Amino acid sequence: MARDAWVAAGSIDEFLRTTVPFLAAEPVLNTLLLTVFDRLRMEGPHAFGESDPLLLTWYGADGSAAGAVVRTPPFPFVLSDVPAAAVEAFVDLVLDGGGSGFDGREINLPLTGEEPFAAAWSARTGRSPRVLERFRLYRLDRLVPPAPAPVGKPKLAGREDVALIADFIQAFWREVEHSMPEDSRAVALRMAEGRVAEGIFWLWLDESGTPVALAGHTPPTAGMCRIGPVFTPPELRGHGYAAGATTAATRASLALGADEVLLFTDLANPISNRLYQRLGYRPVSDRARLEFAG
């Protein structure tokens, strides 16, 4: 077995066997990698697009799994908490052309990895990565529904809502500056259809019955669900619709037996950070999304 090295899994089954047990030992901190991989496990390697996913495992000095990277092009690399040496070795892989899947130019990583990554990248290229987003992971303590409740009611999304939900997903991607698939409409529609069929997307309807906000959640994975995406069109914000939709998605997650319900917020958005804390979510850890170029 490799030691102090990154090794690419040859298949989803291999990663499931070698690396998921390591990630599942800390399901809250590894929520992103676990939920993205679970989608690959359920839907196959092209669940997020036509390109094959990248599944890397860092093997430590004792030869056991000690970290991971998951990437589903065109979306960013997602890095678990790993030693600084692993971050530096990952930079080398990217710059030295590690193979298929290494063409990405964004990485989502724990705060502890940001400085080692920036230092290694700058040392190799003379350029500094650009911070696109800093965000915070929250864990539900005890759900506190909004009071007063927003006008309207929740609705479990149905097939008749797929096109609208795809609109919301595309608008959400644009807002958070994710790399957009070339066929973003087709990807958004496929995602909307799949999540609606699974019963994990909730809409908030205003007093006229018009959908005004969306909140989804992941299926239970390693005992946890994560809320997201949460989206309200800009012109409809300020009425509490996102709080209502998030409450519905949170209750649904708890009803599915989740031991932990999690969500991420953009640290640059004080309104959403206050909102989720009012709903009973408490901070756990921070991550960053960086853009880099060779």
Q: Give Cβ neighbours of residue 212 (< 8 Å, ≥ 6 apart).
A: 152, 203, 204, 205, 206, 232, 233, 236, 239, 241
Helix axes 162-176, 184-198, angle to 10 degrees: 120
pLDDT of the residue at 181: 63
pLDDT of the residue at 177: 64
Instruction: Determine contact, residues 35/198, Cβ cutoff 8 Å.
Output: no
pLDDT of the residue at 174: 87
DSSP state of 5: E
Query: What's 140-286's CATH class?
Result: alpha beta
Q: Give Cβ neighbours of residue 64 (< 8 Å, ≥ 6 apart).
A: 1, 22
Question: pLDDT tens digits for the chain (294 residues)?
Answer: 689 999 999 999 999 999 999 999 999 999 999 999 999 999 999 988 889 999 999 999 999 999 999 999 988 999 999 999 999 999 999 999 777 789 889 999 999 999 999 999 999 999 999 999 999 999 999 999 999 999 999 999 999 999 999 999 999 988 876 556 667 888 899 999 999 999 999 999 999 999 999 999 999 999 999 999 999 999 999 999 999 999 999 999 999 999 999 999 999 999 999 999 999 999 999 999 999 986
Residues forming beta bridges with residue 40, ordered by sequence position: none
Show the CA angle centred on residue 156, arms to residues 43 and 253, nearest 5°.
65
- Type of residue at 294: G
The ranges assigned to domains in the chain are: 5-128, 140-286
Q: How far is CA 245 from CA 17, 187, 202, in A?
A: 36, 23, 6
Q: Which two tokens stand for residue 212?
A: 């005004």
pLDDT of the residue at 183: 79
Q: How many CB atoms lie within 10 A of CB 159?
A: 10
pLDDT of the residue at 173: 87
pLDDT of the residue at 84: 95
Residues forming beta bridges with residue 140, ordered by sequence position: 281
Q: Which two tokens stand for residue 189?
A: 């529609």
pLDDT of the residue at 67: 98
pLDDT of the residue at 277: 97
Q: Write the Ramachandran bin of 137: left for phi over 0, alpha for psi from -120 to 50, otherwise beta.
A: beta
Q: Give Cβ neighbours of residue 12 (< 8 Å, ≥ 6 apart).
A: 37, 40, 41, 44, 45, 53, 55
Instruction: Determine contact, residues 214/245, Cβ cutoff 8 Å.
Output: yes
Residues forming beta bridges with residue 153, ordered by sequence position: 205
| 3-state SS class at 260 | strand
